[in-house]
Amino acid sequence: MGSYKYFEEYDEQVTEELKGNFSKILKGIGEDVTREGIVKTPERAAKAMQFLTSGHCEDPAEILRSAMFAEDYHDMVVIKDIELYSLCEHHILPFFGKAHIAYIPNGHIVGLSKIPRIVDVFARRLQVQERLTHDILECINDTLKPEGVAVVIEASHMCMMMRGVQKQNSVTTTSGFRGQFEKIETRTEFLKLISSSLS
């Protein structure tokens, strides 16, 4: 009977350093780091932290440039309900939700999968939702140079839900608009599209 194998590549030196730090944290909160359920936790946490912050090692603008195509299309392109998961830089607790993004091409379109990819790149950093919204907006605006770009993010924050005010049903919404989306009629069309079901 074969054994299960799962392979992920991590920097061994960084993993060992983080592993030691997580072990100290566990001891500091009174855990027995030799018990069966905890013994591998420092290594797992070290690898998880590297994955969850791996966006620092990627260039989101280059991701967009790798799939830009000349196209004479000047109507709104909307990608909505893009799942996102990030870590709040204040407490290193998760926040998660959805991003809704639109742009109006100005000579170039981009492969649709690249928009969610750059959401992941920026989300896989220690973040605040406001900066995450701004980073995505400016990356698309600066790289594609569209006639307009819009970003709306709706997210729930575990730092509000698990600790602090403990408001489990709270949702934070942030938005940013450039170019044509600064016009009320274009912005209204976008907001209507992301709030409606077309199915």
134 is catalytic: no
Q: Which listed residue (129, 139, 147, 180) is catalytic?
A: 129
Active-site annotation holds for 189: no
Is 56 annotated as catalytic?
Answer: no
Q: Is residue 50 annotated as a catalytic residue, yes or no?
A: no
Contact yes or no for 30/3 (Cβ under 8 A): no
Catalytic residue among 62, 83, 90, 182: 90
Of residues 127, 139, 147, 157, which has the active-site annotation?
157
Residue spans of beta strands (DSSP E) within 15-93: 68-70, 77-88
- Distances in Å between the Cα of 191 and the Cα atoms of 22, 133, 144, 160, 186 are 43, 16, 21, 26, 9
Which residue of the set 83, 89, 130, 182 is catalytic?
A: 89
State yes or no: is 89 an active-site residue: yes
Of 108, 134, 138, 159, the catalytic one is: 159
User: Of 16, 91, 138, 189, which residue is the catalytic one?
Assistant: 91
Is residue 129 annotated as part of the catalytic site, yes or no?
yes
Cα R_g (the chain), whole angstroms: 20
Whether 175 contacts 191, CB under 8 Å: no
157 is catalytic: yes
Catalytically active residues, by annotation: 88-91, 129, 157, 159
